[in-house]
Structure 1
Amino acid sequence: MFKHLHIIAFDIPFPANYGGVIDVFYKLKALHKLGVKVHLHCFYEDRTPQTELNHYCESVNYYPRQAKFKSFFSRLPFVVQTRNSKSLLQKLADDNYPILFEGLHSTYPLLRATFKNRKTIVRVHNVEHTYYQGLANSETNWFKKLFFKIESQKLKSYQSILKKATFVLSIAPLEQLYFKNLFQQTHYIPVFHQNNQVKSLSEKGVYAYYVGDLRIADNRKAALFLISVFKNLDYPLVIASSFNNQSVENKIKKSPHIRFVKINAQADADALLADAHLNVMLTFQNTGIKLKLINTLFAGRFCLTNSTMVKDTGLESLCGVANTLNDFKNLVKTYKKEVFTSNDTIMRERYLADFNPLKNAQKLIDLIWD
């Protein structure tokens, strides 16, 4: 008998070019490979319907976000209030299939329906109120800073909606500890991603590499910090993103051995990663697990991070760790002389065994259809 599953996504998960949608897209690919009939429901704002999703889903439905001005004044978080749809509620009522809500953002139906005798699962991508407070701390625009602070407060109050779910799925060990303490029905299933095995690479790459969504203040802050690290070092740095940011690009223009590359397709990102010798990454928010870290450990050479990036991930021993400008500079000088060997690959295979997408999809299937 076929297994059918509704997945409600906070955004159209293709192209899979930023953190949250990467987990969604590669999850539905893995579930499809294991025979699950996925009925995907996508909210959207600036993305467009994608035929690629039809290859992995039994059905795909799209709903425009209700991003009206009055939503700012709702008691609900803006990210939830703007993702409500009567059409979605009607479609969910047509059958009794289990429902997987991607993020708190997509859980509006839990407010409006009871879903008796039906399994409902919420995949939490972050401790959202902590994440939004971090965005407020990193943001320099006063309006956005205020919005993020208010949204953080609303999300902290709203997360009690998780009590209505049959299961909560955490994405990282730190979040598992947090949510398990509040909701006993919490289970840890690692992040989904594009890699099925650790790649074997040549000993040397040709530059240091940072990739990030430059729409996000935390990533802009990280890019500007790395420009400060490399501007006086005799080693090339490539900063790449699917999104332009003028302030970052203006800083880059002042350093001849630092360049910006626009990512237009996944193949661009894969090629840049394959040629990188040292992958530099940092975050100023200890929330979730950074997909760029997982992807780099599977498909790249050396990783240099700050402690916040790897804290409580179990992956600390696979990375060089620095927290100050001088520490980053010193480790860059060290790593540029190192060669990447088969021993590095073997060690990663051991530590990354729990991040196999198909194994984790099977865990999810066993949890839903026990």
Structure 2
Amino acid sequence: MKKIVLFFFLCLILLAGAGFWGFQQLQQFLHQPVNVQNDQLLTIERGTTGNKLVALLEKERILEDADRLSWLLKLHPELNKIKAGTYSLNGINTVEALLKLLNSGKEAQFSLMFVEGETFKTLRKRLENAPHLKQTLQGKSNDEVFGLLDIDTNLNKNLTESHVIDGWIYPDTYNYTPNSTDLELLQRAAERMKKALEKAWNNRDKNLPLADPYEMLILASIVEKETGIAAERPQIASVFINRLKAKMKLQTDPTVIYGMGEDYSGNIRKKDLETPTPYNTYVIDGLPPTPIAMPSEEALQAVAHPAQTEFYYFVADGTGGHKFSRNLNEHNKAVQEYLRWYRQQNGK
């Protein structure tokens, strides 16, 4: 009887020892290195736990022998709450770090910048080249894309093919996860612009010579293109507001360039200023039919609250800013000053 008890006692010791050894092996497995590459992504489908995760990690060669993972997940059920998504494996060097990442739900993040003053034509090319962004707009014209953005088309007067989206995309940096779509990013940006425009219009100064929010958007895009200096925007806006009130042509070069399209090669000639297009503000009265770029919220606010000035003209001052003038005589003098500065800088 004593021998039987001793035998069972020894078996229990052996089992306990084996269990302790197995536990230690699994704990060590937690700290085992994983094989990952720089910028490697791992996509986890819904319902991927246990054996499915083992098979996936072996298939991706992240773990060469992942059999112990199933036991580890049973021992640590808190690590088996795997969430579906696409994850960046940058900085992941152990099994434990990998499991914590897959349990966190923190998917890989990418970003794309929509730049103020940019046209949708330029933006669309960068959308097409954005990494891990699902392309759904290929083959669609710009006005078809515009139709998907849920914008009140009653605001858009005299729209022309390929120009309809310009102005409606809010410039900012947008984060997205893999397999987000290009349309989703545009919808987010368009929604922000609608809210920014509504805010600017509802809180605008009184007696602005603008018929509706869309005209504010158009003028803000012109202000955006005329200066990159934030402090100047209210003064630039004041010049155009003063001109509109006085029924003067806006005479702004960025609209001419926009209207020239592919014909613009870097210089504006006298012939270009005299050639009629819907956007040539040296020829047409008032505003062009659509915005010419993506305006910033600061440009919208500058139009909503322009500086109170008597300026009707401005010209570059050679330092990145502008010289503002009240009348044509002052303006001509400012132009001559700029030309003298330009010749000195270029040795002419």
Shared fold, TM over 0.5 = no
Q: Quick check: which has more Rg, 1 or 2?
A: 2
- Structure 1 or 2: more strand by fraction: 1
Q: TM-score, normalised by structure 1?
A: 0.27
